[in-house]
């Protein structure tokens, strides 16, 4: 399988495509590519039995696609955790390294790495690490962009993307931040939020708001 196809499976997995249908637009924003390119690749993945796709109804991973994606994500996130926790990498820099390492990692090595790390449940970006059999705890797949004005939420996780993580670091948005969604600016403008722990106002770009996941504050 080509790296590009694997990237699609991983982004669909991250967006919740193993448990719900995700849109072309969400995939496009997550990968930073044109919507037309998404449609073409989804057709190829559907022909291979990796995704299910109904026009205008969304995209979901098949059982086969879900297993493959979970295996990729497991290896990738284990390496990210190792690089941050043991080699003290900055969490914004680990994605490219993990991309290389995941393709060189056997199931046996992944199990050994998991044992060495003490079976971590989450990667440094808040993403769940699937078990060796592909199981994982339920997490939120609700995007910051979907939050309502006035709603108070917790920042749960970020999509695994170097440019996104660098941007969020620069503007000061962090995992587990407790925020209030102030407003969505029109015409694909930013989402304005207030961090309730210090009162700081942050403007989260339209694209970034589609790459950040939230959970209710009382979860």
pTM for the structure as a whole: 0.87
Residue-level pLDDT, tens digit, the chain, 219 residues = 888 999 999 999 999 888 889 999 999 999 989 888 899 999 999 999 999 998 888 999 999 999 999 999 999 999 999 999 999 999 999 999 999 999 889 999 999 999 999 999 999 999 999 999 877 776 778 999 999 999 999 999 999 888 999 999 999 999 999 999 999 999 999 999 999 999 999 999 999 999 999 999 875
Domain covering 3-61, topology: Arc Repressor Mutant, subunit A (1.10.10)
What are the two backbone dihedrals, phi and then psi, of residue 152, each rounded to the nearest 5 degrees?
Answer: -105, 125
**Domain residue ranges of the chain, discontinuous segments joined by +:** 3-61, 142-216
CATH no. of 142-216: 2.30.30.90
């Amino acid at each position: 399988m080509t790296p590009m196809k694997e990237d699609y499976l991983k982004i669909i997995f991250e967006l919740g495509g193993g448990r719900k249908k995700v849109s072309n637009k969400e995939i496009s924003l997550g990968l930073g590519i044109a919507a037309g390119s998404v449609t073409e690749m989804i057709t190829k993945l559907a022909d291979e039995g990796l995704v299910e796709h109904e026009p205008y109804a969304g995209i979901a991973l098949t059982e086969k696609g879900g297993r493959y994606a979970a295996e990729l994500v497991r290896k990738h996130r284990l390496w990210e955790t190792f690089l941050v926790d043991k080699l003290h990498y900055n969490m914004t820099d680990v994605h490219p390294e993990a991309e290389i390492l995941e393709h060189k990692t056997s199931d046996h090595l992944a199990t050994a790495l998991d044992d060495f790390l003490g079976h971590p449940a989450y990667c440094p970006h808040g993403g769940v690490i699937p078990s060796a059999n592909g199981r994982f705890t339920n997490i939120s797949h609700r995007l910051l962009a979907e939050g309502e004005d006035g709603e108070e939420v917790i920042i749960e996780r970020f999509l695994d993307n170097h440019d996104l993580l660098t941007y969020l670091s620069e503007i000061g948005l962090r995992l587990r931040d407790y925020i209030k969604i102030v407003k969505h600016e029109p015409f694909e403008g930013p989402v304005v939020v207030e961090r309730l722990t210090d009162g700081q106002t942050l403007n989260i770009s339209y694209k970034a708001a589609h790459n950040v996941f939230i959970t209710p504050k009382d979860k």
